[in-house]
Amino acid sequence: MPKASDNIKIYRNPNGPVVSTVNRRVLEQDGLTFKDIDGTGTLSPVNDWRNSPAERAAAYVKTLSVKEKIAQLFISDWRMAKYPITGPMADLYKDIEKKTDETGILDEGEFRGKTIFGEQYLPGTSLLLKDWFNRHVILRANATPADLADWMNQADAVCEECEHFIPVAAASNSRNENGELVFGMNDAGGVLATWPGTLGIAAAVKGNNIDLVDKFADTIRREWNACGLRKGYMYMADAVTDPRWQRTYGTFGEDPALISEIMAHIIPRIQGSDHGVTEDGVAVTTKHFPGGGARENGFDPHYAAGQWNVYATPGSLETYHLPPFAAAVKAGTSSIMPYYSKPAAAKSAVQHDLAGNTVEMKPYGFAYNKYFIDTMLRGQMGFDGYINSDTGIAHNMAWGVEMLDVPERIGFAVTNAGVDIISGLFDNEAGMEAYNRGKNGYYETHPLPEGFAKEELTLTDEALDRAVARTLTELFALGMFENPYRDPDEAARIVATPSDWEAAADAHRRSVVLLKNDGTLPLTADKRANKKIYAEAFLKNAKHAADSTAALRKELADTCILVDDPAQADFALLFVSPSSGEYFNATPGYLELDICEDKTVCNVDANGKPMADTHTETTLHGGKRLAEIAASVHANGGKVITNVNITLAWQLGNVEPLCDVLLAGFDTYRSATLDVIFGCFAPTGKLPLTLPRGDAVLAVNADGVCISPNDVPGYDKDRYMPDSLKDENGKAYAYRDAAGNYYEYGFGLEG
């Protein structure tokens, strides 16, 4: 079956860009080849690649129609017919009409329905590109490299049929880390070279391996570029300060200095230079400004209880949350994504921006907050890229502007705050309505929302041109107008590069943190000769646990003597992978960090305060059996070796005392952990965040205030903890094991 790449014509310019096209007219002048992008048939400023990307973009916005420009303001979910959406969101998309073209890759189906982001109408691909003229999509399909490249080629070929050519800008959440696939966070994985989770990368880097970040970023740039993916919603510059934040696992931990160092390395390497994107680079969207870690007791802003960022500690914003974003700006990040939430003035202490000014705490979500975006991010930090909102701000997560209708929210975000792309829905009609209201006298017959000016709520020509020019500038700088096409076979070859997978495997081993060892490790072949081993995996889901246990035992079968009864074992290998909460749904209480089964905990009311009512929480199916297994093994004179997968800052009080050896992984390959256990690799990883002692240091009083401040990272929380909780060393927050070691940021034994 033919691929779009079979029809691509390629022209090579001496000392200039490659020009590729399927059916677009090309222009010849001075021995050089140019693409007729704007359809004029002339070597206009838009078509002349010798002009700067900014110059070409500024010229193009004068050519495009208002309808075409408004379509550039929106980005939303997209899919590939060959790769249906799976997981928790699958039911929402189950009724997509199954019409496809002959390749089975370019989706021509339609979807109408309600998602967490709002009421969706997703047309077929050709309709979206040719009639609607939208060009920004979030590609969530976990496709093969060849299929990704071919899909992008087909989509761009459709775009070439339009009067004005703009290539498809397919954004994606990160795809190069291991872990559970979660819609809206990490939609794809396991296809590209697969590294540990970002917490694991931070654990490895903290062990003096910053060059690992360079290899990671280089791999991403080459693989994504080969597949035609040129825009990444990655990575998070957020510092974890409240440990109950669901998105902890996608961060680089709690230390703003380490996060800043990672930003300084990862962004230029992915984008191709230290001054922005290049023709072989991938544009980076750094998230979530000004830092999502300052959660009020962990509540997530996908639901109403989490709509506030609380800065209860004086100076916390400038000390812990802003520096990584300043580093990202300095590193040239192409785009920044503000968080859903809004600052809570009534619950916050005085904060200062990076210029030393008192921060204005207007209660608007950060994508609507002109002070944070225009004054702080652009004016003080010098950010000159574009602003890409988080998904759903104009509909279900419009915190602080609920009194506005959707067109007004669009106008307020773009014209007033300076947002350049709104994520979540293809709201072209609402965007046009926001534009027309500024010209048709709408507010002469309709009431103006109190506290807002007409000029803030309508989409002006100046704001529209500014937003579109910024995103077009990125596409020109990436070389996507001249050469958007990629070879699917080459994509497959590049992703299969052995050295990239070897570097990823090395990172997995380096991510393992050894927390406790009584001398049992390394459990070398001679130590386990003729010894019996009991092995079991524990997860929140019983079936997944059984499947994982079977896979673990199969992995060990050739090198270990396995037994089914822990009472017969000389060693028990326990892999513990707890899970807590749901990303898109509020829990009845606070997110549970205890590794527990059927634990009774309090409910919370609509204001986030604890109630007398209770419910039970389980973060680990079969968790109560851990003590039984440990007792049986110890009664036999054996040793218990446990690995805990750290996706949140788990409380280890129900696990550590049972173990002779304790390790931590971060969506780390089990084979890498076994390499450390069996002495094939000496552990070097360090904790990227502090593990809390227990419920006492996360207690929330009747007023909803946590005893440990939500806006301060774990390594600094002791400064604000009551003396009654502190031990003889003045420490209260971090977990302390039987050997006297504190499981705080930067800790890790070496062997």
**pLDDT digits over 644-662, tens only?**
999 999 999 999 999 999 9
The predicted-structure confidence for 64-118, as pLDDT tens digits, reads as follows 999 999 999 999 988 787 776 655 455 555 554 444 444 445 655 677 777 666 6
Half-sphere exposure for 480 (CA within 13 Å, toward CB) = 32
Same domain, 473 and 521: no
pLDDT of 2 reads: 47
Same domain, 342 and 237: yes
Residue 243 lies in a domain: yes
pLDDT of 112 reads: 75
Of 689, 711, 732, the one marking the end of a domain is 689
Residue 590 lies in a domain: no
Mean pLDDT is lowest, of 47-56, 102-111, 148-157, 742-751, for: 102-111
> Which residues are within 8 A (CB) of 480 and not within 5 positions of it... i.e. 6 or more apart?
167, 169, 230
pLDDT tier at 441 (50, 70, 90 boundaries)?
Answer: very high
- Residue 636 pLDDT > 60, yes or no? yes
pLDDT of 204 reads: 97
- Domain with residue 89: its CATH number is 3.20.20.300
Residue 8 lies in a domain: no
The predicted-structure confidence for 375-431, as pLDDT tens digits, reads as follows 999 999 999 999 999 999 999 999 999 999 999 999 999 999 999 999 988 999 999
Please compute the mean of the pLDDT values over residues 232-256 and round it to a whole number.
97
Residue 707 DSSP SS3? coil
**Full domain range(s) for residue 362:** 53-494
The predicted-structure confidence for 719-732, as pLDDT tens digits, reads as follows 999 999 999 999 99
pLDDT of 104 reads: 43
pLDDT of 99 reads: 46
pLDDT of 100 reads: 45
Assigned token pair, 379: 């004016």
Same domain, 528 and 669: yes
Please compute the mean of the pLDDT values over residues 260-283 and round it to a whole number.
97
Residue 373 lies in a domain: yes
Same domain, 338 and 483: yes
Residue 602 lies in a domain: no
pLDDT of 218 reads: 98
Same domain, 445 and 296: yes
Question: Which of 729, 732, 717 is closest to 254 using CA atoms?
Answer: 717
Please compute the mean of the pLDDT values over residues 538-553 and round it to a whole number.
95
Same domain, 400 and 517: no
Of 494, 528, 556, the one marking the end of a domain is 494
Mean pLDDT of the chain: 93
- Strand 342-343 versus strand 308-309 pairing type: parallel
Same domain, 141 and 213: yes
How far, in Å, CA of 584 to CA of 546, rounded?
A: 26
**Pair 218, 269: CB distance under 8 Å:** yes
Residue 738 lies in a domain: no
pLDDT of 102 reads: 42
pLDDT tier at 1 (50, 70, 90 boundaries)?
Answer: very low
Q: Is the peptide bond before 522 cis (omega within 30 degrees of 0)?
A: yes
How far, in Å, CA of 348 to CA of 311, rounded?
A: 4
How far, in Å, CA of 529 to CA of 523, rounded?
A: 10
Residue 748 lies in a domain: no
Assigned token pair, 132: 């609607």
The predicted-structure confidence for 331-370, as pLDDT tens digits, reads as follows 999 999 999 999 999 999 999 998 899 999 999 999 999 9
**Pair 71, 135: CB distance under 8 Å:** yes
390-422 burial: b if 16+ Cβ within 10 Å, else e: bbbbbbbbbbbbeebbbbbbbbbbbbbbbbbbb
Of 639, 658, 689, the one marking the end of a domain is 689
- Domain with residue 649: its CATH number is 3.40.50.1700
Total domains in the chain come to 2
pLDDT of 80 reads: 81
Tokens 């339609």 correspond to 110
Please compute the mean of the pLDDT values over residues 613-634 and round it to a whole number.
97
Same domain, 326 and 469: yes
User: Is residue 346 exposed (0-12), middle (13-18) or buried (19+ Cβ within 10 Å)?
Assistant: exposed
Same domain, 329 and 444: yes
Residue 500 lies in a domain: no
The predicted-structure confidence for 148-201, as pLDDT tens digits, reads as follows 999 999 999 999 999 999 999 999 999 999 977 555 555 656 889 999 999 999
Half-sphere exposure for 544 (CA within 13 Å, toward CB) = 12
Same domain, 516 and 566: yes
pLDDT tier at 584 (50, 70, 90 boundaries)?
Answer: low
Mean pLDDT is lowest, of 259-263, 680-684, 747-751, for: 747-751
Same domain, 110 and 225: yes
User: Is residue 246 exposed (0-12), middle (13-18) or buried (19+ Cβ within 10 Å)?
Assistant: buried
Same domain, 485 and 541: no
pLDDT of 105 reads: 52
Greatest CA separation for the chain: 88
Terminal C-alpha separation, the chain: 55
- Residue 674 pLDDT > 70, yes or no? yes
